Amino acid sequence: MRKKIFGGETSKTMKKALITGITGQDGAYLAKLLLDKGYRVYGTYRRLSTPNFWRLQYLDIFEKVNLIPADLIDTASIVEAIEISQPDELYHLAAQSFVGTSFEQPIGTGEITGLGVTRILEAIRELNPKIKFYQASSSELYGRGNSRSQNENTPFCPASPYAIAKLYGYWITRIYRQGYGIFACNGILFNHESPLRGLEFVTRKISNSVAKIALGLQKELRLGNLEAKRDWGYAPEYVESMYLMLQKDKPDDYVIATNETHSVREFLEEAFKIVNLNWKKYVKVDKLLYRPLDVERLRGDYAKAKKELGWEPKVKFKELVKIMVEEDLNRWQRWLKGERFPWDAINYPDEHKILSRQYRLDR
Ligand code: NDP
Ligand code: GDR
């Protein structure tokens, strides 16, 4: 057994949470939720040449969280993060989370998104098996299965290197729960979006582009498969389900979703409607943006979460699109007036500048 060390002064009653991936969309919203609940919040972040704390700054919680450098491929750094934070609850959100990139970096995705889970569970097992563990599982596990809607008993049929890495994470979580008695839960979350979503994901790519097109800053929007259907919910509500899972008496796995499904095409229509423009005039389908294999349709049945966690989605599809487009419009308007604030959009390169494996296959 390793020697345990204790982090900064905390009152005995104050709960402590460690969030891996605190710089990501869910990490930031979860940190805010837990701070509001009175937790002492620690979060791991990766050392980058330029800091990436804009989401924490955007939510005005940057000064309130405790940051620990750690990388999922470096076991020692994970052990260190747990030793420093001594958490009651560990929310494992860090991952290479973009399905498109997993086709470009299948091995790295396996290391980070798959094996990274075991590195954390092993550290918990060795340092303090009483730590409650949340694993960020995904609706991508269902992949290309053919059920009309998916619940906790639906068979998995992963369709990307990302999904198969998440499948490994899902099962290793169950194995540590059953084999070692660790309080470990899988939240099988369907797509959830927000103004803090990364710009490479289709919803935010659309909301950001619609805002720029409406303001005359962009001429066209290139997209891949418009027929893909997803069950899209609102991220701040989804992180609440993570917290609820770890407050139960027994660990279990839960689907978190809205039980609605909409296509990328519908998202486009709705988003352009908000700025009174006809999407057909601006959108081009680009086959380079198609994935080698895509998930066609997802719709999650969250009945178990409703019954056992009392969790339900409130923001549905149209409201979600509105929240995202209006926020991106507002940001670009503020930017044009000379206001400067923490924000990601100005740092992204145009997609046509990115040369990928698909680009080579196309030539
Ligand atoms: P993001 O991509 O926004 O955030 C991912 C986080 O992981 C970032 O903080 C990122 O750091 C960190 N990270 C990436 N690689 C490493 C690494 N090697 N070592 C340490 N940290 C790393 O994802 P989301 O917030 O949207 O998602 C959170 C989790 O939930 C992910 O595991 C995702 O796969 C899963 N998920 C997400 C869903 C969604 O719809 N959002 C649905 C279902 C599951 P950095 O900021 O430095 O890049
Ligand atoms: P997804 O999200 O793969 O479902 O994974 P994404 O928004 O990337 O894609 C959704 C669907 O839109 C289609 N699509 C495009 N996607 C992107 N990114 N860019 C495009 O230009 C484009 N055109 C069409 C895709 O082909 C796909 O069918 C997300 C991530 O958050 C995962 O981490 C998480 O596990 C799942 O949601 C649930």
Q: How far is the CA of 24 from the centre of ligand 2 (A)?
A: 16
Q: Is 162 a catalytic residue?
A: yes
Given a cut of 60, whether residue 306 has pLDDT beyond it is yes
> Residue 152 pLDDT more than 90?
yes
- Residue 73 CA, closest ligand 1 atom number: 18
- Quote the percentage of the chain above a pLDDT of 70: 95
pLDDT > 90: what percent of the chain?
90
Q: Which numbered atom of ligand 2 lies nearest the CA of 295?
A: 28
pLDDT of residue 134: 99
Q: Which of 52, 97, 254 to mutate to test the pocket of ligand 1 (most atoms within 8 A of CB)?
A: 97
pLDDT at residue 362, rounded to an integer: 59
Neighbours of 346 (CB within 10 A): 9
pLDDT at 29 over 70: yes
Atom of ligand 2 nearest to the CA of 138: 35
Q: Which fold has domain 202-230+262-296+318-362?
A: UDP-galactose 4-epimerase; domain 1 (3.90.25)
Is the shortest distance between the CB of 231 and ligand 1 below 6 Å?
no
* C-alpha to C-alpha distance for 55 and 57, rounded to whole angstroms: 5
SS (H, E, C) the chain: CCCCCCCCCCCCCCCEEEEECCCCHHHHHHHHHHHHCCCEEEEEECCCCCCCCHHHHHCCCCCCCEEEECCCCCHHHHHHHHHHHCCCEEEECCCCCCHHHHHHCHHHHHHHHHHHHHHHHHHHHHHCCCCEEEEEEEHHHCCCCCCCCECCCCCCCCCCHHHHHHHHHHHHHHHHHHHHCCCEEEEEECCEECCCCCCCCHHHHHHHHHHHHHCCCCCCEEECCCCCEECCEEHHHHHHHHHHHHCCCCCCEEEECCCCCEEHHHHHHHHHHHCCCCHHHCEEECHHHCCCCCCCECCECCHHHHHHHCCCCCCCHHHHHHHHHHHHHHHHHHHHCCCCCCCCHHHCCCHHHCCCHHHHHHC
In a mutational test of the pocket of ligand 1, which residue from 26, 52, 62, 142 has the highest number of ligand atoms less than 8 Å from its CB? 26
Please name the fold of domain 16-193+232-256.
Answer: Rossmann fold (3.40.50)
Contact 87, 42 (CB under 8 A): yes
CA neighbor of 206 nearest in space, from 190, 238, 230, 239? 230
pLDDT band of residue 166 (cuts 50, 70, 90) is very high
Ligand 2 neighbour 228 (Cβ under 6 A): yes
Selected catalytic residue, list 85, 138, 160, 209 = 138
Q: How many Å apart are CA 136 and CA 190, to the nearest integer?
A: 10
What is the per-residue pLDDT across 83-119, written as a single tens digit (0 to 9) for each?
A: 999 999 999 999 999 999 999 999 999 999 999 999 9
**φ, ψ (nearest 5 deg) of residue 173:** -65, -45
Say which of 89, 140, 193, 237 is annotated catalytic.
Answer: 140
Which residue lies with its CA nearest to atom 9 of ligand 1?
21
Estimate to the nearest angstrom the gap between the alpha carbon of 293 and the chain centroid: 21
Q: For residue 359, is pLDDT > 90?
A: no
160 lines ligand 1 (CB under 6 A): no
46-95 residue pLDDT tens = 999 998 999 999 999 999 999 999 999 999 999 999 999 999 999 999 99
Is any atom of ligand 2 closer than 6 Å to the C-beta of 198? no
Question: Strands 221-223 and 132-138: what pairing?
Answer: unpaired
Of 39, 134, 142, 162, the catalytic one is 162
Whole-number Å distance between alpha carbons of 38 and 140 = 33
Q: What is the pTM of this model?
A: 0.96
Best residue among 90, 93, 205 to mutate for probing ligand 1's pocket (most ligand atoms within 8 Å of CB) is: 93
Beta bridge mates, 186: 135, 253
**Nearest-CA residue for atom 13 of ligand 2:** 225
Q: How confident is the model at residue 356 (pLDDT cuts 50, 70, 90)?
A: confident
CA of 202 to the centre of ligand 2 (A): 6
Domain ranges of the chain: 16-193+232-256, 202-230+262-296+318-362
